Structure 1
Amino acid sequence: MTTVTEQKQNPWIRRLPLIIIGLVTILGAIYLRDYFTFDALRDNREALLSFRDNNFILTVAVFTLAYVVIVAFSLPGATIATLTGGFLFATFPGTLFNVTAATIGATAIFLAARWGFSEKLGARLEGSEGVVKKIKDGIDEYQWSMLFLIRLVPAIPFFLANLIPSFLEVPLRRFVISTFFGIMPGTIVYTSVGAGLGEVFERGETPNLGIIFEPAIFLPILGCCALATLPILIKALRGKKGI
């Protein structure tokens, strides 16, 4: 039988993973910000390429694990990690490695938040009234569309895009699928930039990370956003016409 003391401890035990993530995030921001930089990648490029050539499978494993840790603990350097994936493994299979690692790391945060908070928060939202309840019901009705939108829109921080679905009780399967495919367009862009870093290094330049906002790239991403919102728009139009 569970004692009163154990019942009091349970909430803190459940929140322990998120507390650990939060502490590591703070420490990482303080002590690791100078290590996950473009300059660090440039200065160590030859050693990285040599290690990859001699230990390809091990390089893939170490890189994937490092990327998962970076995302799971929201450490600085996710963009550099994506560039590194392209630099080491080309656009493909670099994109596959990047997307897989980012999805695993995102899922870790999602599960930690769900285990620690979302059950109680989800129940509160479900039992609420007025605007809050309407917002939650709207998101519940269009979960796939909303999940893809928060991944496709660059303005939404990746960390928040991992937490919001957990608080709204999104099923794990939907979260994983929407994360994997939702981050793919942007990941392909940055991985391809990483694949061309050899020439950038030779010219002594820095990569153009704003390339994702160029019309040739940004407009197709906006098209994907439009497709994601299509079910919402269709139902809204049908509602107005009384269909």
Structure 2
Amino acid sequence: MDERRSSGKVNSNGSGHRLWQYAPVAFVISGFTLGYVFGVQDYLSLTFLAQQREALRIYVDANLLWSALLFLVIYILAVAFSFPAASVLTIFGGFLFGWLIGGALVAIGATIGASILFLATRSAFGGFLRARVDGFANKLADGFRANAFSYLFVIRLAPVFPFFVVNIAAALFDISLGRFFTATLFGILPGTFAYAYLGQGVDSVLAAAQASGRQAQVSDLVTPEITIAFLALAFVALIPIVVRQIRKRGDSR
């Protein structure tokens, strides 16, 4: 009888623990869903910035500290809830606060938001998927863990993959939070400040788009040359990783 009771308690505690481990990812999904239900995506666009740019500028000039804090919180939540608005919000930051302060706010907000999503995913699915990975995928996971900072740093430098996809994928490869946070923070700096700088001079682009009766797009600001520059930067950062791998193979022979 006592054994059955103790077994029931263990099972109950185990079930409760499993439910709690999904709570963070349930929070992220709920935030994402509620955001779209209430139309938050309509405010995270260059169209909204074009329509409200004068009012936003006046408010920020009158309430700089509060505006910076509010922007930081919005950016953290947007990234944590995986809203596809990182580029637009970075341009917002440059427009409202200048490329230096805006870029710094974006870098901090993006890193904290990415870390929240990373931890939520790792809590819910990391252990489950790692236990079922084998073969080539397992070797890939081992390689990713061994060079976690370098790989993440390169991926962050070249924004080829969606930001939220990298946040989720990294959690499945059992990377430490410290490495994830550091690689994300330093990896996104070049792109962050580049987009913030574009945002600082976006006013003329928005005005021209409004005058022509069309909606402004991120592509109006980001030229192919800028994208190529990011890719080239990532390629340069990848060279040390490739050299290390070649040396390891040479030593093993």
**TM-score under structure 1 normalisation?**
0.88
**Aligned mate of 1:199, from 183, 200, 204:** 204
SS of aligned partner of 1:81: helix
SS of aligned partner of 2:41: coil
Query: In 2 relative to 1, CA 210–156 (structure 1 residues): closer, same or farther, beyond 3 Å?
Result: farther
For structure 1, list consecutive stretches of 5 or more residues without a partner in the other structure: none
Indicate yes or no: 2:105 matched with 1:81: no
Measured against aligned partners, the alpha-carbon deviations of 1:184-224 in whole angstroms (never above 9, x if no partner) come to 12212211111012222333453653654533x33442333
**Aligned residue type for 1:113:** T
Partner of 2:219: 209
Query: In 2 relative to 1, CA 62–15 (structure 1 residues): closer, same or farther, beyond 3 Å?
Result: same
**Aligned mate of 1:37, from 34, 39, 45:** 45
Partner of 2:241: 232
Deviation at 1:44, TM superposition (A): 1.3
Structure 1 residues 156-235: aligned runs within 5 Å: 156-204=161-209, 206=216, 209=219, 211-215=221-225, 217-235=226-244
Indicate yes or no: 2:138 matched with 1:120: no
Equivalences, count? 239
Stretch of structure 1 that moved more, 173-182 or 201-210: 201-210
Deviation at 1:76, TM superposition (A): 4.1
Counterpart contact for 2:99–2:193, Cα < 8 Å: yes
Counterpart contact for 1:200–1:207, Cα < 8 Å: no
**Aligned mate of 2:143, from 138, 146, 154:** 138
Stretch of structure 1 that moved more, 162-171 or 3-12: 3-12
Alpha-carbon separation, structure 1, partners of 2:218 and 2:45: 14
Alpha-carbon separation, structure 2, partners of 1:115 and 1:63: 28
**Aligned residue type for 1:168:** F
For structure 2, list consecutive stretches of 5 or more residues without a partner in the other structure: 1-5, 211-215
Measured against aligned partners, the alpha-carbon deviations of 1:124-150 in whole angstroms (never above 9, x if no partner) come to 44xx3x212211122122212211122
Deviation at 1:160, TM superposition (A): 1.1
Counterpart contact for 1:18–1:112, Cα < 8 Å: yes
Partner of 1:90: 98
For the pair shown, the structure with the greater C-alpha radius of gyration is 2
Indicate yes or no: 2:29 matched with 1:22: yes
Counterpart contact for 2:46–2:88, Cα < 8 Å: yes
SS of aligned partner of 1:74: coil
List 4+ stretches of structure 1 deviating above 4 A: 210-213, 239-243
Counterpart contact for 1:21–1:72, Cα < 8 Å: yes
Q: Percent identity?
A: 31
Measured against aligned partners, the alpha-carbon deviations of 1:142-185 in whole angstroms (never above 9, x if no partner) come to 21221112212322111111011111111111111111111112
Counterpart contact for 1:146–1:228, Cα < 8 Å: no
**TM-score under structure 2 normalisation?**
0.84
RMSD: 2.3
Query: In 2 relative to 1, CA 236–17 (structure 1 residues): closer, same or farther, beyond 3 Å?
Result: closer
SS of aligned partner of 1:71: helix
Alpha-carbon separation, structure 2, partners of 1:239 and 1:14: 38
Partner of 2:153: 148
